[in-house]
Amino acid sequence: MVADHDLKVAEFFVKPDPEHPERNIRSFPVEGFHIPALILGDGIEPRLIDSLASQIDLPPTLLGLAGIEAETPMLGTDFTRAGKDYVGRAIMQFNDYQAYLDGDSLVVLRPGLAPLTGRYVDEKFSQTSNDDLQDLSVSALAHALWSSNMYREGLYKLPGASR
């Protein structure tokens, strides 16, 4: 079972107002994305994963559970190989907003506005300077653009295929 976000997330968003950017400085409703995933199957040992995770982690994890080792363009983490100390990251999206949570560092990408950056601790957001999380902002943007760019430009080829 995998879900996306709950309906309350939609209540959070307002349209960006370039004339009054201070009205757009809002955190992202991370709490609306705490959705469990459950993988059942014969021979799968019960395990609780406490780290951050996203839907993109499911395909690599399913391949790992099936014992398949493959070179793929998937960005997700295979939790059959992640160590117990793996903190993880979560990617959350609703409409034109995309958030990237890595540990307690949060970047929210918003159309027409600079990224909103800060710390998300104990379900509370505290904003920081964009300079403090510049590298994470770049990573958040790369994750947001990677799949569509790869597809549109035809950049991914199967291993051994001619380019």
Q: Is residue 158 part of a domain?
A: no
Domains held by the chain: number: 1
Low-confidence winner among 23-27, 36-40, 144-148, 151-155 (lowest mean pLDDT): 23-27
Q: Is residue 163 part of a domain?
A: no
Q: Is residue 162 part of a domain?
A: no
Measured distance CA(40)–CA(46) in Å, rounded: 9
Model confidence band, residue 1 (pLDDT cutoffs 50, 70, 90): very low
Query: How does strand 116-121 pair with strand 97-102?
Result: unpaired
Residues in contact with 81: Cβ distance below 8 Å, sequence separation at least 6, in sequence order = 64
Q: Is residue 161 part of a domain?
A: no
Q: Is residue 27 part of a domain?
A: yes
Helix/strand/coil for 97: strand
Q: Which residue has the higher pLDDT, 68 or 9?
A: 68
Which residues form the domain of 61?
8-153
In the predicted model, what is the mean pLDDT of residues 122-142?
A: 87
Q: Is residue 34 part of a domain?
A: yes
What pLDDT is stored for residue 77 in this prediction?
A: 92
In the predicted model, what is the mean pLDDT of residues 11-39?
A: 67
SS3 string, 22-81, reads: HHHCCCCCHHHHCCCCCCCCCCCCCCCCCCECCHHHHHHHHHHHCCCCCCCCCCCCCCCC
What pLDDT is stored for residue 133 in this prediction?
A: 87
Q: Is residue 24 part of a domain?
A: yes
Q: Is residue 2 part of a domain?
A: no
Per-residue pLDDT tens over the stretch 54-110: 888 999 999 999 999 888 888 899 999 999 899 999 998 877 888 999 999 999 998
Per-residue pLDDT tens over the stretch 26-70: 567 787 787 778 888 888 888 888 889 988 899 999 999 999 988
- CB count within 10 Å of CB 115 equals 20
